[in-house]
A and B are shown apart, each in its own frame.
Chain A
């Protein structure tokens, strides 16, 4: 739909309501978030015992990517009111009026059904059901139930983002095992400090949008203490892939170093007076948390491809 609008009587602007480009639909899939999801899903698939035909492996990764993106689209549909309030999300296609909300919802639902169905039919139904569960958890439990109600939103809701390596693993093995639950647990414990680091320096925006993130509800000190607790717990948990035999000593050493640096980040955040430093340590911790997950899971693949024999 194209419509002409007069802006203050001075300037004529053409607003293209509901007339998005294909790139706007790609933006609806949260491609940056998808990168991490796809990578951890790929690692689950790569380190799982056994083999999968490359075409089926690529299909499994594609299904994980599409389902994650589709869940993101449904999340944007549901959260379009608060996305319009927060600077971080104001440029998304729905707050800008580029895509009709019902189109975004339909887009998300169709892609979810297609991804889950394709995963089940082409790869196996254990992976398909896990993919469906992850999507449902993200949409119904995190987005619709927890996000606006409790500061524990991303603690529990973080489970949705922890599914991908378990799905990748199930795509190869057709089952859920202790080792894949270990991969799930790593991302589950990584999620709170990752999001709370963001929440610390975006606290005002979350408060304005009425999202009860931990820094908004419990304050900085308690949030920082909890972030430190999670990173300390994550340090030994990062060794689970070594304990369960997925990876070798190279991974274990790397996990200790990476986990130790994550704890150092949390300590720096804990000691920081955010108002004086512009939350520099929190911003650095957020950036490091992304690097941490990429590096940890990357190490798993490298160690595995070397045989993990050390």
Chain B
């Protein structure tokens, strides 16, 4: 039976999880754009 305090902790944990997921997606996006740029500019051939 969770209390209100535990509820806040759970909310914080979920928020952190979302933030980390967004960080991972943004890092992945940056790497992808970098790789695409290399390919499109002919650097990867």
Contacts and interface: CB of A to CB of B under 8 A. Distances in A.
A12 interface: yes
Contact of B21 (A1, A3, A22): A22
A4 B20 CA distance: 26
A87 interface: no
Contacts of A13: 1-2
Contact of B2 (A14, A19, A56): A14
| Interface-centre pick from A20, A21, A56 (highest chain B CB count, 10 A) | A21
B44 to A, nearest CB: 7
Contact of B14 (A11, A21, A62): A21
Interface residues of A, number: 20
A16 interface: yes
- Interface SS, A side: mixed
Contacts of B1: 11-13
A4 B4 contact: yes
Interface of A: 1-4, 11-14, 16, 19-22, 25, 53, 55-56, 59, 62, 122
14 contacts: A2-B4, A4-B4, A11-B1, A12-B3, A13-B2, A14-B6, A14-B10, A16-B10, A16-B11, A19-B14, A22-B17, A56-B39, A59-B32, A62-B32
Interface of B: 1-4, 6-8, 10-11, 14-15, 17-18, 20-21, 32, 35-36, 38-40, 44
| Closest 7 A/B residue pairs (Cβ) | A14-B7, A22-B21, A2-B11, A14-B2, A122-B36, A2-B7, A4-B4
